[in-house]
Amino acid sequence: MKFPALRTYAYIYLLFLYAPIILLPIFAFNDGTIIAFPLKGFTIEWFRQMADNSTLRKAVQNSLIIALSASIFATTLGVFAARAATRFSFPGKGGIIGLIMLPLVLPEIIVAVSLLVVLLGIGVKLSVFTVILGHVLICTPYAIAILNTAFNALDRSLEEAAYDLGETKLSTFRLITLPLVMPGIISSLLMSFTISLDEFIIAFFLAGAEPTLPTYIFSQLRFPKQIPMIMALGTCLVAASIILLTIAEYFRRRGIAKTGGTDTGGFL
Amino acid sequence: MTNRPTMIEFQEVHKYYGDYHALRGITASIRAGEFFSLLGPSGCGKTTLLRTIAGFEDISSGAVMIDGKHMEHVPANQRPTNMVFQSYAIFPHLTVEQNVGFGLRRAAGTPAEKARRVEEALEMVGLKGYGRRAAHALSGGQRQRVALARALILKPKVLLLDEPLSALDKKMREQMQVELIKLQRQVGITFVLVTHDQEEALVMSDRIAVMFEGEILQLADPETLYRRPNSRRVAEFIGVMNFLPASVLGESGGHVQLEVAGLGRVDIEAAQGSGRATDGTVSVGFRPETLTILYEGQTAMDRETPGTVDEVVYYGDMTYYDVRLDGVDRVVRISMRNVFGRPVLDIGTRTRVAWSAGALVLFR
């Protein structure tokens, strides 16, 4: 430890990063509508309020439907694109991949507005479905980036060996390719799910009258009375994230142990 | 050997990758039950040729026949060939037994029968009892054996081996060479091996095709290839060969009269030469072990030439001498087995070199 200053900096950095998240559960159980110390007492009133709120339930339901559909669609498209990009060469490949990856660098507000204009122009009614479309668009580049790595790491001769031993192209994909890129697929699903779940701008523009979790939370922030309930909601989300990441990490490590690879770091 | 039927036949096989001409008219046949090697430097097309047999590469023109059948519209999964890959391509998520038995998935037979065949295959490659192990926990040599067992379990007509020993260390490689030869004799299947290691090819093969730039330069048994290479490129690729410039004085009755720099007038059999004369200058080649340094009191059986020792490389059992023959501005390499009581010569020693016209190879 030659640089005590850097070490202190690192601690302060971590404190600022995580302190707000620690405050979340503290105020979620605090018996008072004002978010300030000293704490008033323990209550689960906010969680009860949250459970009783039908609009919130609707928003959670919408968000889950959107995030699930978008992550599955984006990952499926990603599998096709990543396989094509890593296995085949065809004219215009660079340009096509570039176009697919473009939403990664485009400002989301531009994507959202353009989509809105197009959708309204061709007369599609705004709904959960239109949000899914928008989210697939922004999730697919992330899915491809993750899956490209997975497919690149796959030794091509493994597929050839299975084909050589009498399997068809399809059964080779099912028996060899899919199990070996599965960690990548799970990562891609989780990444897309997370991106979709907390995405605000596209959901705000394309959801029409349907609430999603981020747009609902945003709308409630205007009412100070609702803030403890949002805190409770936040606590639930943090807990869910931790559980989800733990499961993902468990599968990732098990996958590595199974294939005998060396651990090159994951989520945790 | 020679009366065996043909197993694989290449007829004017061409392969282009865009503008790149990877295979330039390969015509050759591989006999049933033979251990055949494709030898050449990297990029010579030997792996591409192997993959055309397996069906992983389409050919641009020509034909590949296996066991008399045209392979043009037969995909890799329906060809009577199986392959051992350079990386072994062991399925990392399966056990040893699942790997070896992978090809049996679509085969007829009860599970018990299949399990017995897997057990037999494992026993054949010396991995009895390893069935339940995870494939990724094996060493390099063991992975290689699993790959062999997996490829042989379907009893293919041809086993293709793509540089199977290149990932092993020297000792393991030599051991596996012997085991592969024994295995090939035991199963009697045609083996086609791709290698860039000339020693490996000489040790293992019944016949070798030496490839350069998409062409087969010479196809012969190891001894012919070593003793009578048909071109300087083949000669230089396989072992060490000395070259001396020469000129043709005359040709008659199956004999060629040469004037060789340093060696003088030599009369050799025309069969010792190869190729077509492009101009007057030719060269004569000979292997280091065909020359002998004469010690005090020894006389040559055939011919001898004086020279000076230019460099000495001591290898324990052997010593390599670079000797500058009188009247030539280049050195020739001579390998001498070290014998007890015979001193290793010093640099600068005047010496006599014994040689025989029968060991010369004429390149024109």
Is a pLDDT exceeding 80 seen at residue B2? no
What is residue A222's DSSP assignment? T
B95 and B179 in a single domain? The answer is yes
Between these two residues, B80 and A47, which has the higher pLDDT value?
A: B80
B93, B98, B136, B150: best to mutate for the A interface, most A CBs within 10 A: B93
Residue B1 within a domain: no
Looking at the structure of chain A, the number of domains it has is 1
Report the CATH number that the domain containing residue B310 is assigned in CATH: 2.40.50.140
B116 and B183 in a single domain? The answer is yes
Note the pLDDT tens digit of each residue in A81-117.
998 888 888 888 888 888 888 888 889 899 899 999 9
In 3-state terms, what secondary structure has residue B142? helix
In 3-state terms, what secondary structure has residue B222? helix
Helix (H) or strand (E) holding B293: strand B292-294
B77, B78, B90, B153: best to mutate for the A interface, most A CBs within 10 A: B77
Please report the pLDDT score of residue B280 as a whole number: 65
- Any idea which of A62-76, B245-259, B276-290 has the lowest mean pLDDT? B276-290
* Range 61-80 of B in CB contact (< 8 A) with A: 76-78
When the pLDDT of each residue in chain A is averaged and rounded to a whole number, the result is 85
Residue type (1 letter), B14: H
Q: Cis (ω within 30 of 0) for the bond into A183?
A: no
What is residue B348's DSSP assignment? T
Asked whether B233 and B272 are in contact (CB, 8 A), the reply is no
Report the CATH number that the domain containing residue B146 is assigned in CATH: 3.40.50.300
Given the structure tokens 């290149």, which residue do they identify? B166
B115 and B225 in a single domain? The answer is yes
ipTM for the predicted complex: 0.84
Note the pLDDT tens digit of each residue in B299-343.
888 899 999 999 999 998 899 999 999 988 889 999 999 888 888
Written as six digits, the tokens of B74 are 């037969």
B183 and B326 in a single domain? The answer is no
What span, in angstroms and rounded, lies between the C-alpha atoms of B25 and B279?
Answer: 26
| Domain boundary, last residue among B186, B213, B234 | B234
Task: Name which of A155, A168, A261 is nearest B89 (Cβ-Cβ).
Answer: A155
Domain range for B20 is 6-234
B146 and B224 in a single domain? The answer is yes
| Domain boundary, last residue among B197, B217, B234 | B234
In 3-state terms, what secondary structure has residue B134? strand
When the pLDDT of each residue in chain B is averaged and rounded to a whole number, the result is 90
Is a pLDDT exceeding 70 seen at residue B78? yes
Contact A167 B105 (CB under 8 A): yes
A67 pLDDT tier (thresholds 50, 70, 90): very high
B63 and B121 in a single domain? The answer is yes
A→B interface, C-beta within 8 Å: 155, 157-158, 160-168, 176, 179-180, 258-261
Q: What is the mean pLDDT of residues B20-45?
A: 93
Residue B305, phi then psi, degrees to nearest 5: -135, 135
What span, in angstroms and rounded, lies between the C-alpha atoms of B27 and B215?
Answer: 9
What span, in angstroms and rounded, lies between the C-alpha atoms of B204 and B40?
Answer: 15
Residue A33 within a domain: no
Report the CATH number that the domain containing residue A245 is assigned in CATH: 1.10.3720.10
Please report the pLDDT score of residue A267 as a whole number: 43
What span, in angstroms and rounded, lies between the C-alpha atoms of B89 and B98?
Answer: 13
Distance from CA of residue B283 to its chain's centroid?
Answer: 24
Residue type (1 letter), A116: L
Asked whether B238 and B225 are in contact (CB, 8 A), the reply is yes
Note the pLDDT tens digit of each residue in A110-166.
989 999 999 999 988 888 899 999 999 999 999 998 898 888 888 889 999 999 999
